[in-house]
Structure 1
Amino acid sequence: MTKNIDPRTVIIIAGILGSIAFLANKPLCAHVIFGFATLLALSCGSWRIALASAGFYLLAQLLSEAAWVLGGSASVAFVMLAYMTQKLLVLVLVGTFMSRTTTLEGIGAALARMKTPHVITVPLMVMFRFLPTIRSDIHALMDSLKTRGIIRTPLHFLVHPFQWIEIVAVPLLMRATRISDELAAAGLTRGLGMVKNPVSIYPLGFTVTDLALATAMMALIVATIWLQI
């Protein structure tokens, strides 16, 4: 599946899927939702993330079952940990699906076409641009530390946690503050905060693929309601 899906479809599916993933509280319903999210990730070619998520999901489920069998005061904590892990894995798969099927320009055009308020659009666009930027800065910082011989193994900062705070956490926090200000200023300069919606050159249009995804999403919603009853 390539980036020929309308961004509006991607946004709506991601929002609905993320919402029902956290609202569903029955195991079978949660398994169905995770399976649907896994299929979305596989359809856009993210098989490694899909398989890794499936492995962690299975591990969390086994941990939950073992905690119930063993019992004890710690069993509730393990069950809740496994429960939240399964929910977060769905969000990971949904985020992967969004990143593979649309672009930041597409998301911006879709939000503008949907008449989304600017108090929602501006923070979202800043957040979407912030994450890749800070990730590249983290990689550059770690490469620099390895080149200078400050760290030699990934476990270095586990042995020296205060050094991690000094040479990684504090610089990244300062950089994150500056990046957020720069991205907000750049977005406003490009007209992201205009009262009237700017003209977008990004092509938007629903296709057969959008219809198929919408139909599958409706089927999932019906199945979720039926399983929750």
Structure 2
Amino acid sequence: MAKYKINPLVILLLNILFPFALMFSSSIEALMICFGMAAFFLIYFGRYKRLLKFTLWLGIFYIVYLFLLNCSGNNTAMMAAMFVYVFMKCFPLMMLASILFYDYNTSEILSALQSLNLNREVMLGITVALRYFPTFKKEFKIMKECMKMRGISPTIRHPLKTLEYFLVPQLFRCSLLSDELTAAGLTKGIDNKGKRTSIFNVRFKRGDVLLSFLSLICIIFVIVWGDSIGSVF
């Protein structure tokens, strides 16, 4: 029996709601609830290695956060702790975004978005963004390999030179990539004003409704009682 394919709109909905939940709640426990929800989706898609990476990095940042908090009386450390905590709040969002980028076809996401009757300009922007980020990752790897072949090794000791080695080639590639993405979009009929058909089944099924409902309950719980949980523990 084939595994049930979650509608990408469910993942998008959570990616929109998570920032609101974490904005209204400042406790670590609320962050862990959102992290657990995102972890559930990674486990469902079988991305255990990716989940392990996110968990390890969150653990490292949490240790750094606790260390900075213990530096009482140091304003710089307190400010750094605040930035680290804000970055930690982005982890659930990055986990869900990784599912959209790597576990869904771009055309599938666009077909799901089309069912929402979004503005055409918004759809075009999302199309370019969804296609650009995976391409940028490949280009970044190519640049690193090219520098390695030429004996150039980026290092933190020379940040300006390292930035130059990455930035200048990327600027040239951006202009070429924009032309390539535009050509790919035109080939697929993105400029067609009529309604596009799709081979993907993007209807909202009962499972999607149930997942959205349960996720919404968890989000409301985090917003209303998130700080109370932190005070209890």
Q: TM-score, normalised by structure 1?
A: 0.83
Q: 203-212 or 134-143, which moves further after superposition?
A: 203-212
Task: Name the residue aligned to 1:172.
Answer: 170
Q: Distance in 2 between matches of 1:202 and 1:218?
A: 26
Distance 1:221 1:26 in 2: 14
Which ranges of structure 1 fall in alignment gaps of 5 or more residues? none
2:43 aligned partner: 42
How far has the Cα of 1:16 moved from its partner?
2.1
1:14 aligns to what?
15
SS at match of 1:70: coil
Report sequence identity in percent: 20
CA contact (8 A) 1:2 1:101 kept: no
Aligned CA distance change for structure 1 residues 50 and 106 (closer, same or farther; 3 Å): same
Are residues 149 and 204 of structure 1, via their aligned partners in 2, closer, same or farther at CA, if it must alter by over 3 Å?
A: same
RMSD: 2.6
Count of residues paired in the alignment: 225
Q: Does the 8 Å CA contact 2:111/2:198 hold for their aligned counterparts?
A: yes
Paired position in structure 2 for 1:104: 106
Which residue number corresponds to residue 67 of structure 1? Answer: 68
Distance 1:2 1:178, change over 3 A: farther
Note if contact 1:64-1:82 (Cα within 8 Å) is conserved in structure 2.
yes
Instruction: Give the superposition deviation at 1:23.
Output: 4.5
Distance 1:99 1:131, change over 3 A: closer
Residue 86 of structure 1 corresponds to which residue in structure 2?
Answer: 88
Instruction: Quote the residue 1:136 is aligned against.
Output: 138
3-state secondary structure, aligned to 1:99: helix
Distance in 1 between residues matched to 2:178 and 2:109, nearest whole Å: 19
Measure the CA separation in 2 of the matches of 1:173 and 1:110.
32
Give the Cα separation in 2 of the matches to 1:170 and 1:149: 16
| Residue number among 191, 198, 201 corresponding to 2:199 in the alignment | 201
